[in-house]
Amino acid sequence: MTILGIETTCDETALAIISDDRIVDEVTISQILKHAPYGGVVPDLGAREHLNNLTKFGGEFLTRNNVKLDAIAVASKIGLPPAVQVGEAYANGLANALKVPLIPINHVIAHTWGVFVDPVFTEKPQFPFLALIVSGGHTQILKLTSPIEHEILGTTIDDAIGEAFDKVAHMLGLPYPGGPAVEKAAEKGARLSKPFPIPLKGEDTMNFSFSGLKTAVRVYIEKNMPKEEQYKPYFVADACAEFQRSAFAQINERVAKAIEQTGIQTLVVGGGVAANQSLINALATLYLEKGWDTEKLFVPNIKYCTDNAAVIASYALAVTKEKSKQKFKNRNFIRSS
């Protein structure tokens, strides 16, 4: 089965073709430079860029890959509404013209498919597994029993972790997107004498919260930002390192709870913040401390952490296969005597 995936939920316009679990071709056009002057994603500007990109590169991509498509999958519902709608309209038009089914895909769950699509992983995670989705719009721990059955064990009660990274970066005068800028600055950071609080620490929950941490960073900046320019980079580095330490301590606490409660050690990490090496180091340290099997911790290549179309197409393929497997299982076999 050959599926075209389309992703336009935020600031990446992406197309990918998957054929029988193999990436045939993929293209991702980043809009970062267009949004950077505004310090964040401007939804209407994003929608216009998606339209331009799809018109310009979509046709080129399809001509270059002259293959028969069996379905069109599109990242749907979750994302910035004007941006999502452009992808949906384009995918719908294409599906109608080619007379193939249109498969709307929940892009948050699709983030789990980064490791499935990443050719580096020859051994794929086995069901049931846990998924940690850490993106600009979501922070969730899920339990997946199949590609079409999942349970949300925990979710953020306020800001998403990526959003917190972006806001902290903005407060510290770092460029958009904030995540990579905070990670880079944190590399040179030292410990603060008074660490930022770890939100929901010790509470009996699998939910997340980042707004209190964001406020703690804001108050710290207001009280302590040095006046002298030459000291500012040190101040920023320390604040970034401490912010990451607190945010990742919270993630580790929730992950530990989820693994201990479910008895499932297989954890798949996805979403833009999974690109952060300190987060992955923190998770690996947790696995080592707890004596868990680090082979069961799956983190895709950075390219498959952030928004991309290969995960959309690959997840659509997995959903289609699972649905037909279940339909076959539930079929009544009638024999004529």
Q: Interface with ligand KG4 by CB under 6 A: which residues?
A: 10, 135-137, 162, 165-166, 177-180, 183, 271-273, 275-276, 306-307
- Any contact of residue 139 with Zn ion (CB under 5 A)? no
- Any contact of residue 163 with Zn ion (CB under 5 A)? no
Which of ligand KG4, Zn ion, none interacts with 189 (beta carbon under 5 to 8 A by kind)? none
Minimum CB distance to ligand KG4 smaller for 58 or for 177: 177
- Any contact of residue 112 with Zn ion (CB under 5 A)? no
- Any contact of residue 308 with Zn ion (CB under 5 A)? no
**What is the chain's length?**
337
Residues 6 or more apart in contact with residue 151 via CB below 8 angstroms: 142, 143, 145
Residues 6 or more apart in contact with residue 236 via CB below 8 angstroms: 172, 173, 174, 185
Residues 6 or more apart in contact with residue 91 via CB below 8 angstroms: 6, 72, 73, 74, 102
CA torsion through residues 294, 204, 132, 36, sign: negative
- Any contact of residue 307 with Zn ion (CB under 5 A)? yes
Which of Zn ion, ligand KG4, none interacts with 177 (beta carbon under 5 to 8 A by kind)? ligand KG4
- Any contact of residue 266 with Zn ion (CB under 5 A)? no
Minimum CB distance to Zn ion smaller for 110 or for 237: 110
Min CB(110)–ligand KG4 separation in Å: 10
What number of chain residues touch Zn ion (CB under 5 A)? 2
Which of ligand KG4, Zn ion, none interacts with 114 (beta carbon under 5 to 8 A by kind)? none
Min CB(32)–ligand KG4 separation in Å: 10
Which of Zn ion, ligand KG4, none interacts with 165 (beta carbon under 5 to 8 A by kind)? ligand KG4
Q: Are 23 and 310 in contact (CB under 8 A)?
A: yes
Which of Zn ion, ligand KG4, none interacts with 162 (beta carbon under 5 to 8 A by kind)? ligand KG4
Min CB(176)–ligand KG4 separation in Å: 8
Task: State how far the alpha carbon of 128 is from the alpha carbons of 150, 253, 266, in Å.
Answer: 9, 21, 8
* Cβ neighbours of 90 (radius 10 Å): 22
Minimum CB distance to ligand KG4 smaller for 95 or for 312: 312
Q: Which of 13, 19, 135, 320 binds Zn ion (CB under 5 A)?
A: 135
Q: Are 209 and 200 in contact (CB under 8 A)?
A: yes
Which of Zn ion, ligand KG4, none interacts with 209 (beta carbon under 5 to 8 A by kind)? none
- Any contact of residue 12 with Zn ion (CB under 5 A)? no
Under the rule (CB under 5 A), what is the footprint of Zn ion? Answer: 135, 307
